[in-house]
Structure formats: C-alpha cells, structure tokens
Copies of this chain bind each other. A is one copy, B any other.
C-alpha cells in the first residue's frame, strides 16, 4: 500500500500549538526585563540573525595599560542567548596582558585557550588557591562568584574564549569596585585594611572619588 501523508495532516494534527510554541526567547532589549531575563521578541520577527553574533570575530583593543580586552556576547550584546542559560566572551591578552582579579556574580565560567599561553587561577571560599599555566587547547573552569584572574604567560599574544552558565553572568572587577567609583576612601580602608596612601593612589589611577 502506498503511503500518502498530505501536508494538511500534521497541520491539522498539531495546528493549535504551532503559533504559540516557543523554544527560545530572543531578548527584546526595549521591553520590560524581569528576574529571568528580557522579554521575548515576537517569534514572527525572529530571523537567523538573532541567533548569530559576529562581534567576537575581531580582536579587542589591547592598546591599554593592562594590555587586555574582554568582548562579551552576553544577552545584552547577543539577545539570542536570553533565557537559554549560556553565553560566551572573547578574551585578548597582548604580551604582558592581564585580566585583573574579578568575579562573575551570576555564573560559572569555562576558559578555552585558543592561542598562546595563559596563567589562570581562582581562590575558593575555603581560601584554597588553584592556579596553573594553560597552553593552547587547555580549558579551565572557574566556579560561580569566586575571585579569579588570567595573565598572559607567553611571549606573544594570547586568545581565549570563555563560556558562562548564564546569559548574563555579570562582571565585578575588584580594582574597579574598590577604586573606580565614589565609595569613600575611609570605607575602602576600613573594609579592606589597605593603607590610605595605597587607596588614594589607585583611586587616582582609576578615577575614583571620595
């Protein structure tokens, strides 16, 4: 017997669910945001370009004092990952470059070394230190919320891609948090035990006030 399955069959069968089923929620950055992420762009307006991001193709500008650049593809830059529990970023480290001590309050990170070598590490709540030089192809995981860092450990430029367990993992750079805003020096000193001169010096460098 010949099988004939006319097009209308499955259409009829499942028609009511098609209009509304959503497997994704491309972020609409102009609509209200909630605890779980951005509102969804209407499915009918979604195209393949919402799922593709080309912003990580070019090296970030490392012509700066730390000789490093981080280029994020979080939900704010790449709304296609909104609600999907994952995001990525590109990390460029010129020779001598360093990504200073920082945390991601909202997600764990896996770093993949694509070029060069990187010394990376983190410190646990139990105050144990884990760090190691990584070569091309090595990966390292940094658990959510813990202080960690990456340093170019070779003579040439280093490139890495990093993945996060959240579309919006956040980023808190220690020096920036302590010395790059209007948190009064007195409070910084009382809560970090750093010397006044040290605090004021770095506030000067990073533009902090107070």
Binary interface encoding of chain A residues 30-62 relative to chain B, with 1 for a CB under 8 A from any of its CBs, else 0: 011111111110010011110111101110110
- Does A158 reach chain B (CB closer than 8 Å)? no
Contact B105 A57 (CB under 8 A): no
Binary interface encoding of chain A residues 2-40 relative to chain B, with 1 for a CB under 8 A from any of its CBs, else 0: 011111111011101111111111001101111111111
- Does A137 reach chain B (CB closer than 8 Å)? yes
Contact A86 B165 (CB under 8 A): yes
- Partner-B contacts on A (CB < 8 A): 3-10, 12-14, 16-25, 28-29, 31-40, 43, 46-49, 51-54, 56-58, 60-61, 64-66, 68-78, 80-88, 90, 98-101, 103-110, 112, 114, 119, 121-132, 134-147, 149, 151, 161, 163-166, 168, 170-178, 180-183, 187, 190-195, 198, 201-202, 205-207
